[in-house]
Amino acid sequence: MPVLSPHLLSNHRELRLAHLALGFISMGYVWQEGQHAPAQSLPKALAWPYWLVSRRLGLPPILTYADCVLANWKLKDPRGKMEVGNVDVIFSFPGAESCRGFFIVSLLVEMAASSGITGALQVMHAMKVSDLIGIQKGLISVTQSLKKMRENFTLMHNHVEPDTFHGTVRTFVSGWRDNPAIPRGLLYEGVSNEPIFLSGGSAAQSSAIQCFDTLLGVQHDNESGAFLTRMRDYMPPAHRQLIETLSVCPSLREFILSSSSTDLRQAYNSCVSALVDLRNYHLSAVAKYIIVPGGYARSMGCPLRGVDTALNSIGTSGTKHMVFLKSVRDTTQKALIS
C-alpha cells in the first residue's frame, strides 16, 4: 500500500472522513487476530498519513468516540427522520447488526443531547443577568434532553447482542493504553521510534456528558476526575473548548445555593437526578453487555479465538469500568441540593 499524502484534503469534513477511515483501517489491522495476538506496530502507509491528518484536526491518531459515533453515519433517505431505521454507518467492524446498532444507538443518544447543550448555554447567559426564569427554562431543557438520552439508550437492547458486543465489537474499539492485551503500546512506523500509548473510544469521551457535569458543578473524585479530564484530549478541539469555557464561568450550583427560589432549586435537582438516572442505566448496560457475557466466557474455559477475556474487567479506554461508573454516578448524586 502506498504512503498517501493528505495535503489535498482541503476542509474539515474531508479531514474528519479521512480520520474516520484511517481509524477503522488501523483498528482492523491491530486487532485482526483478536485480543490474544494484536499487532505491535502500525505500518508507515497507515501511521504517517494518520498522524498528519490527526495533527491538522487536533485529534489523536486512534479511533475516537467522535469518529465512530459522531462522524460515522449517513441518512438512507436524506429527507427522512433521524431514527434507527433511516440511519446507516459509513464504516463498520465484524459484528454485523450488533456493531451497526451499537454505533447508531450511541449516535441517537448524542443527538438527544443537542437540545441540552443549547439549554446549558441558555442557563449561563441567564446567570449573567440574574434571570431566574431563564435559568429555570434552560435547566428544564437540559433535564428533558437527559431523559431523551436515556430513552434512546434503551434502543441498544433491540439492536445489539451481548455476546457479539463482548466477544467481537469491543476488541476493535480498544486502545493501547492500560490494556493488558497490548501493554507496551503501539509503534507508529515513520512517526516515532518509541511506542505510543492511546486509549480506545468510549462514552467517557462524550463531550455532551462532560458539558452537563461542568454546568451542574459535579465534582468527581481525583482518579475519576483526572481520567475524564484526560479524555478531553480525544474530543474535537471546539468541543473541548466549550467544556473549558463552561468550567471557568460562575458556578451555577453556588448561584442556586445563594438563591431563595425553591423553583430554581427544584429545577436544578431534577436535572441532576436525570443525569444520575442516565448513569445508572449505563451501569445496567455494562452489566448486561460486559460483566455477564464475560463471566460466562470464563466459566466455559475461554479464551477462544476472538473472545475478549483481557477486557472483562476494564473498559475500552483502560479504566475498571464498574468502579469508574459507580464513582461518577455517586459523585453526581452528591451534587443534589437538600
Indicate which CATH number applies to the domain containing 172: 1.20.58.480
Q: Is residue 3 part of a domain?
A: no
Q: Is residue 7 part of a domain?
A: no
Q: How far apart are the first and last CA of the chain?
A: 62
* pTM (2 d.p.): 0.91
Q: Is residue 2 part of a domain?
A: no
Q: Is residue 27 part of a domain?
A: yes
Q: Evaluate if residue 275 carries a pLDDT over 90.
A: yes
How many domains, the chain?
Answer: 1
Q: Which helix (H) or strand (E) holds 187?
A: strand 187-188
Any idea of the CA torsion for 334, 252, 206, 20, to the nearest 10 degrees?
-170
Q: Is residue 1 part of a domain?
A: no
Q: Is residue 289 part of a domain?
A: yes
26 or 313, higher pLDDT: 26
61, 70, 73, 151, 222 from 103: Cα distances, Å: 20, 9, 9, 16, 30
Q: Is residue 4 part of a domain?
A: no
Q: Evaluate if residue 260 carries a pLDDT over 70.
A: yes
> Taking residues 73-101, what's their average pLDDT?
95
pLDDT tens, 219-245? 998 899 999 999 999 999 999 999 999
pLDDT band at 306 (very low <50, low <70, confident <90, very high): very low
**Of the candidate ranges 130-144, 165-179, 221-235, 291-305, the one whose mean pLDDT is the lowest:** 291-305
In the chain, the percentage of residues whose pLDDT exceeds 90 is 86
27, 30, 62, 181 from 178: Cα distances, Å: 16, 16, 15, 9
- Residue-level pLDDT at 317: 47
- Residue-level pLDDT at 137: 98
45 by DSSP, 3-state: which? helix
**What secondary structure does DSSP assign to 270-298, as a single string?**
HHHHHHHHHHHHHHHHHIIIIIHHHHHHH
> Taking residues 162-189, what's their average pLDDT?
94
Cβ burial of 193 (10 Å; 0-12, 13-18, 19+) is exposed
| Residue 285: domain span | 12-335
DSSP code at position 165 = I
> Taking residues 188-193, what's their average pLDDT?
96
- Residue-level pLDDT at 292: 85
Q: Could you give the CA distance from residue 92 to residue 103 in angstroms, rounded to a whole number?
A: 9
Q: Which helix (H) or strand (E) holds 41?
A: strand 41-42
Those residues whose C-beta lies under 8 Å from the C-beta of residue 323, and which sit 6 or more positions away, are: none
**Number of H-type helices and E-type strands within the chain:** 16, 4
- Residue-level pLDDT at 235: 98
Q: Evaluate if residue 2 carries a pLDDT over 70.
A: yes
DSSP code at position 191 = T
> Taking residues 249-255, what's their average pLDDT?
95
Q: Is residue 142 part of a domain?
A: yes
Q: Evaluate if residue 190 carries a pLDDT over 50.
A: yes
298 or 20, higher pLDDT: 20
Consult the annotation and say whether 282 binds a ligand. Answer: yes
Those residues whose C-beta lies under 8 Å from the C-beta of residue 226, and which sit 6 or more positions away, are: none
Q: Evaluate if residue 300 carries a pLDDT over 90.
A: no
pLDDT band at 316 (very low <50, low <70, confident <90, very high): low
pLDDT band at 322 (very low <50, low <70, confident <90, very high): confident
